[in-house]
Amino acid sequence: MDGICVFDWRYGSKEMRELFSVDSIVKHYIDVEIAIVRGLEEAGLAEKGCSEKLIECMYSIAANEVYGREAVLGHDIASLAYLAGERCGSCGRYVHLGATSYDIVDTAWGLLIKKALAIVKDRLSKIIIKLAKLSQSYRDTLMAGRTHGQHAIPITLGFKFANYVYEFSRSFERICEAEKRIVLCKISGAVGTMAAWGDRGLVVETTTCRELDLKPYIISTQVAPRDGFAELTAIFAILASQLDRFALEVRELSRTEIGELFEVGERIGSSTMPQKRNPVIAERISGLAKIVRALVVTALENIPLMHERDLTNSSSERILIPHILLTLDQMLIDMEKLLNSLGIDEEAMRRNLEKSKGAIMAEAIMVKLVEKGMYRHEAHKLLREITGSLGKDEAFKEALIKNQLIRNMLSEKEIEELLDYRNYLGCYKELIDRAINYANNILQNCKNKENTLDSPSIQARNFTP
């Protein structure tokens, strides 16, 4: 098992795979065990200097030895403690003294998740920055806004991208908030009372947590409260669904009959149809999102444990935690690839915007008619009738001009101005700026200053609502 990933599958980066390899997991177990011995020393419960002496001995214990012993003992942490006791001389007797297995496991999870979240946040911040750049580059590029799959009113591509800037920034914020409740140190003994360490338990905990650069859980049973793991899983499911939403956008807009966004690359779209340009990266994002969402149920089911704990969470979390991080890691990698290979056809956007022959501006006409004195419901009914009876080659403008009721209220010049797409974009520029400013604040507040939107090319104007 030495050097083999816990889950040897095709997804996730090399760094995330290595983080959740059996070697890495056992190494983090050892980190925690040695830190606890340092805490025992500080509390006067272990011989001074033992934590230093244990370093060379314990890190020489290989993962395959631990799991080989587990095949006999049926317990991985006990196997590690036995091996240390047998090999590490007189100091070996202090390894795992007064600790319970989930002091080791939950604290190791805290360390591993801390490192994994650093990878996740780095990838997500780059995605937010890339989307912000795209939003600024295409802030004035007209396209059809769609609801229910139908043309609604005009928007800009930059406005569309800015919505994703905002949504992904909210997920970044959620991760930072959840990190405070999950990246923690659990050192409290058999049922959480620190009984084995007497009145020196808090000294053991404080020293151990300081050595590992983690804050402690306020209180626990034999295990850390599982709501933190469930919260993080739910947040990842939200982020996965947001990635899925963007991927779905690309998939829909890359349809042959739309062709506004598409994946550019050398990948083969179809094994048999050479002309196909399949959105395979986007489709993989959508496929993996299903896995992440499904894991939420498992995480929620792990919250209710009997009394001070049972073992029902352990087996599922060995699958849940590495899998969800490896899956989300792959989705973020794919999202970066998708953004970097995104084809944008502005001519197709203009062509599609004209497909309704101006009828996409019906709301603008209705608003002006109400302004001129017509009741809204009457204006709505009138325009429904006009748009519903347009001839095959008849433009909306022609139908408006020949309607006497419309002409009694609007001049031809007013109609032309009302049908200009650029006159009906509302506060899109301010809204784009507001989204980018929000993202910048989130990235800065979450201490990710190496990846912010401070570049002049993408920085939004300050916006005060």
Which residues are identified as catalytic? 148, 270
> Distance between CA 126 and CA 458 in Å, rounded?
13
Is residue 3 a contact partner of residue 51, using CB atoms and an 8 Å limit?
no
Cβ atoms of 304 and 228 within 8 Å: the answer is: no
Collapsing DSSP to helix, strand or coil, 32 comes out as helix
Q: Which stretch of DSSP H or E encloses residue 350?
A: helix 346-353
Q: 290 vs 238, 293, 328, CA distance in Å?
A: 11, 5, 11
Q: What angle do CA 390, 362, 148 make, to 5 degrees?
A: 90
Q: Are 234 and 272 spatial neighbours (Cβ–Cβ below 8 Å)?
A: no
* Torsion sign over Cα 233, 236, 240, 242: positive
Nearest Cα to Cα of residue 208 among 43, 25, 26: 43
CA–CA dist 163, 146 (Å, integer) = 14
Q: Integer distance in angstroms from the first to the last C-alpha of the chain?
A: 57
Distance CA 161, CA 245 (A): 12
CA-angle at 29, arms to 25 and 35, nearest 5°: 145
- 451 close to 132: Cβ distance less than 8 angstroms: no
Question: What is the spatial distance between Cα 144 and Cα 155, in angstroms, rounded to a whole number?
Answer: 6
Contact 353, 421 (CB under 8 A): yes
The CA distance from 56 to 91, in Å, is 12
Cα 410 to Cα 52: distance, rounded to the nearest angstrom: 87
Burial of 409 (0-12, 13-18, 19+ CB in 10 A): middle
Contact between 308 and 221 under an 8 Å Cβ cutoff? The reply is yes
- One-letter identity of residue 429: K
Q: Which amino acid appears at position 226 of this protein? A: R
Query: What is the C-alpha R_g of the chain?
Result: 30
How far apart, in whole angstroms, are the C-alpha atoms of residue 217 and residue 199? 18
Outline where 138-200 has alpha helix (H): 157-182
Residue 415 tokens, joined: 């109609």
Question: Which two tokens mark 128?
Answer: 């937010």
